[in-house]
Amino acid sequence: TQLLKQSPQFLSIQEGENLTVYCNSSSVFSSLQWYRQEPGEGPVLLVTVVTGGEVKKLKRLTFQFGDARKDSSLHITAAQPGDTGLYLCAGLPMEYGNKLVFGAGTILRVKS
Amino acid sequence: EAGVAQSPRYKIIEKRQSVAFWCNPISGHATLYWYQQILGQGPKLLIQFQNNGVVDDSQLPKDRFSAERLKGVDSTLKIQPAKLEDSAVYLCASSLGRMNTEAFFGQGTRLTVV
């Protein structure tokens, strides 16, 4: 059973479009993280959100942590081909202490 | 600062053979993770160490997989005997530990079992 459910699984869009990726759970998390992974490489951390309702911006990327700390979203504005990759959410479920669990990921392809 | 080092990058073995992967985490990182990532899926935690102690190995198939982290630094993950379904990328990650869980990953070892 996947603790973190990501949607959509796949997303193919044109350069310049906006998109949102979702990460949902029935469990409460002490923190959530977003990673980006390119083929043949390990995931690279983009951001960590800790406080319920927190919003963080990283250039064209906006991350939000739900008020109840059970879900998160990643919004990309004006997507570029360089944004192509696998986006993974990960977090520490409070019921499991320090165990870092991952969602299945969203594969994003941005066409030029 | 050097990143997480893993070796080998690629390994092809026949089923029922054994294989070992090595990981050198970032210096000073107390927590070390081994993940299995099957193509198109997110990483699945196999085992987590805090220094040289095991924190979680609930998803490690202990009949064939073993891992150790001697002296709380380097770690090895072994599979014996390998099955076809073990074909995956094995990722090692480390973090400072305690309240800081931002994980830094190595490039992974791609295992193909034929």
Per CB-CB distance under 8 Å, the chain A contacts of B93 are 42
* CA distance linking residue B32 with residue B88, whole number of Å: 19
Q: Are A81 and A67 in contact (CB under 8 A)?
A: no
Q: Higher model confidence: residue A89 or residue A94?
A: A89
String of b and e for A23-39 (b: at least 16 CB within 10 Å)? Answer: bebeeebebbbbbbbee
Running DSSP on this structure, what letter comes out for residue B17?
-
Is there a contact between B108 and A99 if contact means CB atoms under 8 Å apart? no
pLDDT computed for residue A98 by the predictor: 74
Residue-level pLDDT at B98: 67
Interface residues of A toward B, Cβ cutoff 8 Å, are 6, 31, 33, 40-45, 48, 88, 90, 92, 96-105, 107
Identify from A100, A101, A107, A108 which residue to disrupt to test chain B contact, counting B C-beta atoms within 10 A and taking the largest count: A100
Average pLDDT over all residues of chain B: 93
Q: Are A31 and B101 in contact (CB under 8 A)?
A: yes
Give the minimum alpha-carbon distance from A85 to chain B in angstroms, rounded to a whole number.
11
What average pLDDT does the structure give for chain A?
A: 94
Q: How would you write the pLDDT of chain B (114 residues) with one tens digit per residue? A: 689 999 999 999 999 999 999 999 999 999 999 999 998 889 999 999 999 899 899 999 999 999 999 888 999 999 999 999 999 999 999 998 766 678 999 999 999 999
Average pLDDT of the residues in A87-100: 87
- Identify whether the C-beta of residue A108 lies closer than 8 Å to the C-beta of residue A83: yes
Of A29, A16, A13, A25, the C-alpha closest to A98 is A29
Inter-chain touch B105–A43, beta carbons under 8 Å: yes
Contact A69, A95 (CB under 8 A): no
